[in-house]
Amino acid sequence: MSAPTPISRLWPTPSTAPLDDAGLTELYGRADRPRLRVNFVTSVDGAVTVDGYSAGLSGEPDKRVFGLLRMLCDGLLVAAGTLRHEGYRAVRLSEPRRRWRLDHGLAEYPTLVVVSGSLALDPAQAAFADAPVRPVVLTHAAADAPAGLAEVADVVRCGADRVDLAAGLAELRRRGLGQVLCEGGPYLFGALTAADLVDEVCLTVAPLLAGAGPGRITAGPAAAPRELPLRHVLAAADGTLLLRYARAAAPAP
């Protein structure tokens, strides 16, 4: 297997020394309190997809950090549309990453959490049927569950006629899923932003111009702008930028 593309820190405290997985893990880390982290990749001109899929934007450095962020989380949050469109399979981790989790007192695998207002889900999809940990589906009281879904996932109803994301996150935290990683899609990101639930954004900028057509990483009704301070800038040898933005931790109660 070829060596990974070197990634180094540009800011703060620039260093040309390549970061190994342990160094990257320390930079991204786990918070000492509940946190919702969002992870996206975009082109230089702001596209969220190439030919309709995010895979066209994701090079080796992005995939490396993508895997580490999954290793660090308790729950992996994704919209049902993204689950279907991107063809999500069961959430699996490499043996070293599973060992890291167990060594740090975490479950061997993170829990997949799917947000769905319609419950148009296929219980036979590998993300459910082959999951190493029983997934959670966040929906609302008016949605009709398809036959077999309750056999492969915990269906949690939050809200009367639409998914109450704040209540859903509170339920995840009650279940011990305090560190949640959201992988999209854009409408879920927009809704989380509008509800002021986003604590951190990890953004990969691929050295690519996608051209007109694809949407942005966020979508939906307009929301009030919110400051999100830059925490680090990493650069890969192939020109990929890896940015991390996070708001300051709230004071302890």
- pLDDT tens per residue across span 88-143: 999 999 999 999 999 999 999 999 999 999 999 999 999 999 999 999 999 999 99
Spatial distance between the Cα atoms of 171 and 159, rounded to a whole number of angstroms: 12
Q: How far apart are CA 115 and CA 136, in angstroms?
A: 9
Identify which of 39, 55, 59 has the alpha carbon closest to the alpha carbon of residue 207: 59
* Residue 248 and residue 84 in contact, taking contact as beta carbons nearer than 8 Å: no
Q: How far is CA 140 from CA 81, 97, 135, in A?
A: 16, 34, 16
Say if strands 179-182 and 75-79 run parallel, antiparallel, or are unpaired.
Answer: parallel
- Asked if 138 and 119 count as a contact pair (C-beta separation under 8 A), the reply is no
Residue ranges in the chain assigned as alpha helix (H): 21-28, 60-72, 80-85, 95-103, 126-129, 149-152, 165-174, 186-194
- Rounded to two decimals, what is the model's pTM? 0.96
CA 151/CA 141 separation, integer angstroms = 18
Per-residue confidence (pLDDT) for residue 214, from 0 to 100: 85
- Out of 3.30.160.20, 3.40.430.10, 3.30.70.1150, 1.10.10.10, the CATH code matching 33-246 is 3.40.430.10
Residue 1's pLDDT band, with cuts at 50, 70 and 90, is low
Closest by Cα among 165, 74, 159 to 115: 165
Return the minimum-mean-pLDDT range out of 43-52, 150-159, 233-242.
43-52
Residue 111 token pair: 């829990």
Is the distance from CB of 62 to CB of 102 less than 8 angstroms? no
Q: Please report the pLDDT score of residue 251 as a whole number.
A: 46
What average pLDDT does the structure give for the chain? 95
| pLDDT, position 140 | 98
pLDDT band at 253 (very low <50, low <70, confident <90, very high): very low
Q: How confident is the model at residue 86 (pLDDT cuts 50, 70, 90)?
A: very high
Determine what percent of the chain falls in helix, strand and coil, rounding each to the nearest 5. 25, 25, 50
pLDDT at residue 213, as a whole number: 86
Residues whose CB is less than 8 angstroms from the CB of residue 146 and which lie 6 or more positions away in sequence, other chains included: 119, 120, 121, 122, 123
Task: Give me the pLDDT at residue 2, please.
Answer: 79
Instruction: Please name the residue that has the structure tokens 């296929």.
Output: 122
> Hey, where are the domains in the chain?
33-246
